[in-house]
Structure 1
């Protein structure tokens, strides 16, 4: 069923009614961008208050970028006072990007929102859907989280609340990710509505604030090195062996020391990070290409750039790049959308 707004398709059991107000809690630039898209698509009510986590430079930069664009009506963005997450009231839709957050899970125990809307938080969104559709009693825990007894109890309780919301027709999943067909069917089987989008609001905005880079090859930075999942020397050797000139867009969690080494390498131009690459790279043209290790940005940029004839290629990570911290299951999860691979 096609929605009235271009770029949005509703696949759930019922159409979301745009009524009432909504409050969103976001902790990353991507979550913030997707909350704006949710308001534009009408899945979160005609009025939405988006509250961003305080003291995160990337969120501050993204807020400034969004303020210069034509935001959907009824939307206001603010920073959390005292760092507190807003509590949804009765009759309010609760928009969330990170259902693995301990703060969110604790609040969900006593909150009673009219509806819950989950927006993208990278590939963790897919893990969340996998856990929600697993056997009853499965806790909502991050892939690399320490499984302490208290976190398991809290994660189990949060899963029960989300499943109950789905059964009552009060849970919407709003995503730009290609959810595998069997997983999508399982999500609908819970009673949740699955709404897919292709960044319709962002595509409607001018890209004049971020002129496209002059380099033909654009490389996206990665957090896998800093997170201890791949070896630093393997990654940098691959990067420096690429034929230049290269435009390098750092990951917001990239190690400053690694980034300094990239800046010093001949033929590589490092562009300021902080803003989602979905915003900075949406004006690329044929003749340019994007290279990246596995990341959610690969999927979203393909959505934005495929019609422009710009390839977005994922590097298939060789076995000897991975560290012992990267389990087989985690590797598989990270590379699940690594189609149209580029050889390292």
Structure 2
């Protein structure tokens, strides 16, 4: 990992006679997804992290590399070092905050247990953020594991130990959750009763960056990972997008985990412009949309974040509830209920 970034070295070169207020201890960010990286940038902008914050990116991720390049181009908040790829989970700092997004990662949990007491900042990682809060505030101890994960005995033990460590950090006032997601009031109260600090934001750093050029099409459809993940049947999803294209030309923004067969069929339609996947999250790539644009999507955390980013622009953003017969057997009722949080005042699909 690179050392302190240039702005900290510049401070060190200042005259010893110049009054300088004490700097917060630098933080270390471990980002494994574009949203985690963007959330960490917003946390830096919000003043939750110290000067000289280092950012380690999971190596081998094209989407992370592309997002880091775009963040650098936009101009990072002061105190944030340029992101750099790392082959293993970044080691927590001795004094500053350790910033993570995926508390369900086995590698993150092992690092958490081996690092002793540390101040932790958890940033958004999509729907998993709410799942994490529900597990931490459950009446009976539950292992930290992804929804629908099947755990063996060793993995369950690791998840239980990691949950105990996070709850202990909360009781000690050392756990902060930084989120832009709609946290239900009952869950919000339970998190604070645990001792954790919940800090909400609306992407002020990103909203302050120059707007990106919007697509020429008025209608923008956000791609979904639900087909790729085996939760929604491919054919009705495709028919829905094709029916939208019959009403007017549309721009389709693929999800970074999009089903290749879906994209192949959509690209053959003359009224659908499928954007080339860059890995940059739509919160960044679509922040130039205007009041003339209309965004449509199946349930997604991107609906929430885009509503915040584009609030001043007046863009229409509508979530579409998934019809019951679209779901596969792998989509359990709990998951369906979770996803309903990210629809808002949605449109019904004609069936």
Contact 1:89 1:113 in 2 (8 A): no
The offset of 1:76, in angstroms, is: 1.5
Rounded to whole Å, the distance in 2 between the matches of 1:296 and 1:327 is 19
Rounded to whole Å, the distance in 2 between the matches of 1:24 and 1:60 is 15
Gaps of 5+ in 1: 1-16
Contact 2:103 2:132 in 1 (8 A): yes
Partner of 1:244: 248
Q: What SS does the corresponding residue of 2:342 show, helix, strand or coil? A: coil
Partner of 1:12: none
Aligned length: 325
Q: What SS does the corresponding residue of 1:107 show, helix, strand or coil? A: helix
Q: What SS does the corresponding residue of 1:109 show, helix, strand or coil? A: helix
Partner of 2:69: 64
Contact 1:92 1:113 in 2 (8 A): no
Rounded to whole Å, the distance in 1 between the matches of 2:314 and 2:100 is 33
Partner of 1:3: none
Partner of 1:5: none
Rounded to whole Å, the distance in 2 between the matches of 1:285 and 1:18 is 40
Rounded to whole Å, the distance in 2 between the matches of 1:28 and 1:86 is 14
The offset of 1:77, in angstroms, is: 3.2
TM-score, length-scaled by structure 2: 0.90
Determine if the alignment matches structure 1 residue 224 to structure 2 residue 226.
yes
Q: What SS does the corresponding residue of 2:230 show, helix, strand or coil? A: coil
Partner of 2:181: 177
The offset of 1:30, in angstroms, is: 0.5
**1:144-163 paired onto structure 2 within 5 Å:** 144-163=148-167
Superposed CA deviations along residues 6-41 of structure 1, whole A, max 9, x for unmatched, are: xxxxxxxxxxx9721100101111101001111111
Rounded to whole Å, the distance in 2 between the matches of 1:306 and 1:205 is 14
Partner of 2:328: 323
State the structure with bigger RCO (CA 8 A, min sep 6), 1 or 2. 1
Which of 263, 266, 270 is equivalent to 1:266? 270
The offset of 1:113, in angstroms, is: 5.2
Which of 310, 318, 336 is equivalent to 2:315? 310
Rounded to whole Å, the distance in 1 between the matches of 2:290 and 2:204 is 19
Rounded to whole Å, the distance in 1 between the matches of 2:51 and 2:316 is 36
The offset of 1:67, in angstroms, is: 1.3
Q: What SS does the corresponding residue of 1:237 show, helix, strand or coil? A: helix
Determine if the alignment matches structure 1 residue 214 to structure 2 residue 216.
yes
Contact 1:52 1:59 in 2 (8 A): yes
TM-score, length-scaled by structure 1: 0.92
The offset of 1:149, in angstroms, is: 1.4
Contact 2:206 2:309 in 1 (8 A): no
**1:167-206 paired onto structure 2 within 5 Å:** 167-206=171-210
Gaps of 5+ in 2: 1-21
The offset of 1:44, in angstroms, is: 1.8
Rounded to whole Å, the distance in 2 between the matches of 1:43 and 1:89 is 15
